[in-house]
Structure 1
Amino acid sequence: MYSAAGPGPASPFYWNAEVRPGLRVAFTSAAAGNLALHVGDDAEGVHENRRRLEDSMGVAAGALRFMSQTHSDRVAIVDGSAGSGHGTGASPAPHADAMVSRTGTHPLAVLVADCVPIVLADASVTEGGTGATAVVHAGRAGVANGIVAHAARTLRRSGARDLTAWIGPSVCGSCYEVPEDLMRSVAAALPEAASRTRAGTAALDLPAAVRRQLGDAGVGVGHVAGAGPACTLENPALFSHRRAPGAGRIAGLVWRT
């Protein structure tokens, strides 16, 4: 079992907080191990990392739901079946880049290693709302094709009334170097995405673009202050595809206690 220490070198979490009574949001660090089946470790090692993470979260083994992420605009609705974490007897991971639990009772995970992980929750459960939750994987393609707004719309169609989002670690606008024409293309629709590296070359600020999209969708953004820089490339305690391709993926998590 993981150490009970707070975020830091001995913790599997970059940030972990009870954001509402009975609702927790967290983002893991590399200390949680690689949580993705498509990179790095063998499958059994990943399953063991997931089991240990569930134990640290205090949720049932196999309860944590994962997606098969494809940089799409697809949103999956989680049903009442078993979790998708460990294979035997579990429902398959949906091919999607956002996942919604309409009741908020399913622990959800999104995996990243430079893309932007987003957790959303309906805060109005005590005022007639649903308590619905969601996780979103927003890479460059996802930001461009509107996955953030699509997830928010899906939550609202499910009855959510008062949405808040938490944005986890990702590559920052000073580190995400891209070709000039690509930066200009994305910035044509989202000016906040335009950025420059410290060397002055073209870059994308995906966290800023995500904040703009959440604001346009009427979603407030909660505070996240984790252990060290929020840039995955700059923080060695986080996985970064740009720094070490295939090394692993961190997770954004939401669950009820």
Structure 2
Amino acid sequence: MTSSTTWAQEALLPADLGAGLLRADLGPGVVAGFTTRHGGVSPAPWASLDLGTSTGDEEARVRRNREQVATWVGAPVAFATQVHGEAVLTLGAAERAEWESVAAPLSAGEADGLVTAEAALGLGVLVADCVPVLLADPVARVVGAAHAGRRGLVLGVVDRVVDAMLARGARVGDLRAAVGPAVCGGCYEVPHALREEVSAVVPATWATTDRGTPGLDLPAGVVAQLSARDVPSARVDRCTLTDPDLFSHRRATAAGTVAGRQAGVVVLA
């Protein structure tokens, strides 16, 4: 099996599918990537590709931004109402028709994981410091996406998505994953007790920030959980808190403003 280290050197490419979509290579017949904050229609403070419905941005602008992403990936993209849990929704032909309609819904339901074997139906997870995780089995043609925040990571949302993909015919030996931009361990400062609590469940999250204070490295935790399932992964090593091209809830809160939401998106072409 290809190691996650070797694969990571080749799988994430700087090329984009649009002005604001960083491409991830998850195999033939799979289109995947992570949006940045660029390429949309929203004004400040959401400027400009805000994809979230809970940020205070106007719904019409969010819909136009989502349509832009759908154009980039060549398919409508379904999103869930994320609740920092472990629930996974499996979507199919009925949902594709629903999301293709003029009156497309804003949410497929409450969940932090999405899975489909349906071609031309994109799956999207929204983030602004949490970890977006995209998965694919290009042989069995099954894809999944997970929103892995601190609570979801502890609850095992990444494992639940892998389980749901296996139930749809994916094989561990053919699965691969891309771990998107998120707040890094050097920046994600937490109370000492919280670091102890989370790292007791996911040891790889233990971190010390650049300031020497207790921290959590959520992307490292995701990579470790994937490795434990023998799923090779590639990681986008960009920190949302320090990268101005990405939305960050923590950065916006510190500045007294609000952050938009970027997304990880995957679709069977």
TM-score (norm 2): 0.82
2:160 corresponding residue in structure 1: 150
Q: What's the counterpart of residue 173 of structure 1?
A: 185
Change (3 A) 1:69 1:87: farther
Unaligned runs of 5+ residues in structure 2 are: 1-13, 40-48
- 2:23 maps to what in 1? 16
The equivalent of 2:268 in structure 1 is 256
Shift in Å at residue 51 of structure 1?
Answer: 1.1
1:231 to 232, 239, 254: 239
User: Counterpart of 2:38 in 1: which secondary structure?
Assistant: helix
TM-score, normalization: structure 1? 0.86
Moved over 6 A (4+): none
Q: Distance in 2 between matches of 1:86 and 1:241?
A: 31
* Identity %, equivalent residues: 38
Encode CA deviations 1:172-228: one digit per residue, 9 max, x unaligned: 00111000000011111222111011111101000111111111122111x355xxx
- 1:55 paired residue number: 71
Partner of residue 62 from structure 2, selected from 46, 51, 64 = 46
| Superposed CA offset, 1:146-168 (max 9, x none) | 11111111111111012111000
2:111 alignment counterpart: 96
Deviation at 1:92, TM superposition (A): 4.5
- Give how far 1:26 is off: 0.5
Q: CA deviation at 1:105?
A: 4.2
Q: How far apart, in 1, do the equivalents of 2:106 and 2:92 lie? A: 10
Give 2:148's aligned residue.
138
User: Residues 99-131 of structure 1: CA distance to partner in whole angstroms, max 9, x if unpaired?
Assistant: 0003454211111000000001013x2xxx3x1
Question: Is the 2:91–2:118 Cα contact (8 Å) retained in structure 1?
Answer: no
Matching residue's letter, 2:53: L
Unpaired segments ≥5 residues, structure 1: none
Classify the secondary structure of the residue corresponding to 2:77: coil
Once residues 100 and 248 of structure 2 are traced to their aligned partners in structure 1, the CA distance between those partners, rounded to angstroms, is: 22
Q: Residue 36 of structure 2 corresponds to which residue in structure 1? A: 29
Indicate if the aligned counterparts of 1:66 and 1:85 stay in contact, CA closer than 8 A.
no
Q: How many residues align?
A: 239
SS in 2 for 1:16: strand
Alpha-carbon distance in 2 for matches of 1:218, 1:165: 11
Provide the rounded CA distance (Å) in 2 between the counterparts of 1:172 and 1:178: 12
CA 1:134–1:83 in 2, change beyond 3 Å: closer, same or farther? farther
Higher percent of residues as helix: 2
Provide closer, same or farther for how the CA distance between residues 244 and 84 of structure 1 changes in structure 2, counting only shifts above 3 A: farther
Q: Which amino acid aligns with 1:110?
A: V
